[in-house]
Amino acid sequence: MERASLLRPEGEGECSVSRQPPTIRRCAVYTRVSTDHRLEMDFNSLDAQCEAAEAYVRSQAGEGWKLVKNGVFSDGGFSGGSMERPALQRLLDLVRSRGVDVIVVYKVDRLTRSLADFAKLVELFDANGVSFVSVTQSFNTTTSMGRLTLNMLLSFAQFEREVTGERIRDKISASKKRGIWVGGVVPLGYRVEAKKLVVDEAEAATVRQIFDRYLALGSLSALQKELREQGVVTRQRILACGKTIGGVPLTNGPLAHLLANRVYLGELNHKGMSYPAEHPAIITTSLFQSVAAKISENRNGHCTKRSSSAALLVGQLFDDRGHPMTPSVTNRKGVRYRYYVSCVVAQGRGDEAGSIKRISAPQIENAIIAALRARSAESFDERELVAEHLSRAIVAADGVELTLANGDSIRIPSPKRSSAQSILGLANDSALPMKAEARAVLLRWIAIGRQCVAELERGRTIDLDQFAERRGCTRRHVERMIDYAFLAPSLVKAIADGRLPRGVAAKALADAPMIWSEQWRMIGFEQPAA
């Protein structure tokens, strides 16, 4: 009879137990493959990862797991070694907005293959209360053993990525040394057929024209202008993202690269070396060598280069048509002259420049700095003064308009041309003299050189290594400093008095001739009267 009570109807004589519904856990799925190979198939690796992850989420429905709307984030053709992946960035934005609680991945290395990146992701997840789950790997990151297991998995994933990268680089290197085209931007004059470069006759004619015309004109700027007038443009290309680039006139940089590219000799370039290749040549060896000799002659005879270290107004100086004016340095007879040149002039489009195409860098810098100092009570270094107070400067024929950081405007007259010869004279001139720091270094070198020569004149044998060590420099520097000991006294006095222009190069003085008057002429001036 006691057992009969076990068969009584449910609920009779018992307390019913109610069960609380599970807390909703919002889930997102992330999938990734490193290449876009086979992504066009009806069912690819991304689909397989997504199917497994969604099935896992459904299996946890009793725990309150639910896939959020548009909760699948897929990156096809992106490496796990980088965080720059569009779908991953969208997912991280969702994490930051606290729109997800759990991230589900097929394997941990789908999320990242970098330990450093993984540490950043974990920090972001923890800060926003997000956990992540791997469908095929079981670990618990709340325990020390689970974290160790996870770090080991990621270490092997990173190792695998690095080893794979090394193998690919080795294969590319070996292929290039054998002259096999392995991909990249196809040079003008060629097209790719069956993974090999073949000559595109229409473009090849343009390449030959460029080589021939450079040899005739002898100037990149003149060649650029002529090609622009003829409507010669770069090849149009469609990127993987669908964006179209190219179809623009050739500028100095691409032209210089084209004229020095040994691909047109039927070779392939790799790490500074060139190797005979499978594709045919477009340019004859004699023409290529003639062009290379002309380029070298122009570079040695008239060297103009950008100097970012001395230019104070980079990115802030414009002509009155809105074109940036970029720094340029020219060496003439051992003297360096600094300018700001409208960028369109450097591109061979001088007719598009403003009313002032080129202006002396020291003059415009001095004029602007003087105007800024007149409005600032604080003591600033020149570079700090410009960075702190100047927003933009527009150079026109009738003056320079300054826009300050606080929104105010100043108009100053255009700086007048000054003769470098007057800098060397005794008259005070507003042109920029040699910097005090450079002058002090040069005078120290002269003093060390004279000391070394004086010891030699007294008949003492000098160990240059010990001599250099005592003065905190190298033997090569001491040998160089000895040359400065033979500079003309009037030239040394001009250096000490600060009457040499900033453009005089120390190297030019070290290579000066022994005759004093010729030393002056070498830097572009006549020796002052005694």
CATH number at residue 232: 3.90.1750.20
- Contact between residue 130 and residue 95 where contact means Cβ atoms under 8 Å apart: yes
Going by the DSSP 8-state scheme, the letter that residue 433 receives in this structure is: B
- Contact between residue 132 and residue 104 where contact means Cβ atoms under 8 Å apart: yes
Give a yes or no: residue 16 inside a domain. no
> Do 143 and 199 fall within a single domain?
no
Q: How many angstroms separate the CA atoms of 88 and 66, rounded?
A: 20
Q: How many angstroms separate the CA atoms of 137 and 107, rounded?
A: 7
pLDDT at 90 over 90: yes
**Which helix or strand (DSSP H or E) is residue 270 part of?**
strand 267-270
At which of 301, 329, 350 does a domain end? Answer: 301
pLDDT at 438 over 70: yes
Average pLDDT, the chain: 79
Point out the least confidently predicted range of 240-254, 263-277, 403-417, 490-504.
490-504
Give a yes or no: residue 428 inside a domain. no
pLDDT at 261 over 60: yes
> Do 261 and 374 fall within a single domain?
no
Selected residue with higher pLDDT from 208 and 521: 208
Give a yes or no: residue 19 inside a domain. no
Check residue 309 and give its pLDDT: 47
Selected residue with higher pLDDT from 380 and 114: 114
213-236 mean pLDDT: 86
Highest mean pLDDT (candidates 206-215, 327-336, 337-346, 441-450):
206-215
495-518 mean pLDDT: 71
Q: How many angstroms separate the CA atoms of 481 and 141, rounded?
A: 65
CA distances 522 to 44, 422, 484, 509, 517, Å, are 72, 17, 15, 9, 9
Give a yes or no: residue 345 inside a domain. yes
- Contact between residue 371 and residue 412 where contact means Cβ atoms under 8 Å apart: yes
Q: How many angstroms separate the CA atoms of 299 and 494, rounded?
A: 31
Burial of 177 (0-12, 13-18, 19+ CB in 10 A): middle
Structure tokens, 328: 């340029």
Banded pLDDT at 229 (limits 50, 70, 90):
confident
193-200 mean pLDDT: 89
Check residue 420 and give its pLDDT: 40
pLDDT at 93 over 50: yes
Selected residue with higher pLDDT from 473 and 410: 410
Selected residue with higher pLDDT from 496 and 433: 496
Write out 274-331 in H/E/C secondary structure: EEECCCCCCCCHHHHHHHHHHHHHHHHHCCEECCCCCCCCCCCEEECCCCEEEEEEEE
Question: Could you say which of 34, 114, 328, 360 is catalytic?
Answer: 34
Non-local (6+) Cβ contacts of 359 within 8 A are 325, 339, 340, 395, 415
3-state secondary structure of 391: strand
Structure tokens, 93: 């934005």
Residue type for position 318: F
- Contact between residue 74 and residue 31 where contact means Cβ atoms under 8 Å apart: yes
248-272 mean pLDDT: 86
Check residue 450 and give its pLDDT: 82
Report which of 335, 324, 289 is spatially closest to residue 522, judged by C-alpha positions: 335
Check residue 426 and give its pLDDT: 31
At which of 259, 277, 301 does a domain end? Answer: 301
pLDDT at 499 over 80: no
pLDDT at 2 over 50: no
Banded pLDDT at 345 (limits 50, 70, 90):
confident
3-state secondary structure of 79: coil
> Do 440 and 410 fall within a single domain?
no
Point out the least confidently predicted range of 72-76, 108-112, 140-144.
140-144
Check residue 507 and give its pLDDT: 64
Give a yes or no: residue 422 inside a domain. no
Q: Please report which residue ranges of 340-435 form alpha helices under DSSP H.
A: 343-346, 361-375, 382-389, 420-424
Report which of 165, 293, 329, 108 is spatially closest to residue 218, judged by C-alpha positions: 293
Active-site residue, 379 included: no
Check residue 83 and give its pLDDT: 87
> Do 152 and 62 fall within a single domain?
yes
Looking at the chain, the whole-number percentage of residues with pLDDT higher than 90 is 13
Note the pLDDT tens digit of each residue in 30-84. Answer: 999 988 776 777 788 888 999 999 999 999 888 899 999 989 999 988 888 888 8
Banded pLDDT at 334 (limits 50, 70, 90):
low
Selected residue with higher pLDDT from 199 and 463: 199
Going by the DSSP 8-state scheme, the letter that residue 463 receives in this structure is: -
> Do 37 and 153 fall within a single domain?
yes
Check residue 53 and give its pLDDT: 92
Check residue 422 and give its pLDDT: 37
* Number of structural domains the chain divides into: 4
pLDDT at 250 over 90: no
Give a yes or no: residue 423 inside a domain. no
> Do 211 and 155 fall within a single domain?
no
Length of the chain equals 530
3-state secondary structure of 377: coil
Give a yes or no: residue 180 inside a domain. no
pLDDT at 452 over 90: no
> Do 454 and 492 fall within a single domain?
yes
Looking at the chain, the whole-number percentage of residues with pLDDT higher than 70 is 80
Burial of 434 (0-12, 13-18, 19+ CB in 10 A): buried
- Contact between residue 126 and residue 45 where contact means Cβ atoms under 8 Å apart: no
pLDDT at 428 over 50: no
Give a yes or no: residue 36 inside a domain. yes
Non-local (6+) Cβ contacts of 182 within 8 A are 172, 175, 176
Note the pLDDT tens digit of each residue in 276-321. Answer: 988 899 999 989 888 888 888 877 654 444 444 467 888 889 998 8
> Do 141 and 259 fall within a single domain?
no
3-state secondary structure of 27: strand
Point out the least confidently predicted range of 411-425, 431-445, 499-513.
411-425
> Do 327 and 291 fall within a single domain?
no
Going by the DSSP 8-state scheme, the letter that residue 501 receives in this structure is: B
> Do 36 and 109 fall within a single domain?
yes
Q: What is the DSSP string of 187-253?
A: PTTEEEETTEEEE-HHHHHHHHHHHHHHHHH--HHHHHHHHHHTT-BPPPEE-TTS-EE--SB--HH
> Do 37 and 151 fall within a single domain?
yes
- Contact between residue 472 and residue 437 where contact means Cβ atoms under 8 Å apart: no
At which of 160, 177, 202 does a domain end? Answer: 160
Q: How many angstroms separate the CA atoms of 58 and 131, rounded?
A: 17
Non-local (6+) Cβ contacts of 78 within 8 A are 32, 33, 34, 84, 85, 88
Range(s) of the domain holding residue 243: 190-301
Give the phi and the psi of residue 77 in degrees, each rounded to 5. 85, 30
Selected residue with higher pLDDT from 169 and 420: 169
CA distances 203 to 199, 206, 207, 209, 235, Å, are 8, 5, 6, 10, 9
Which residue is associated with the tokens 């002509």? Answer: 319
> Do 507 and 413 fall within a single domain?
no
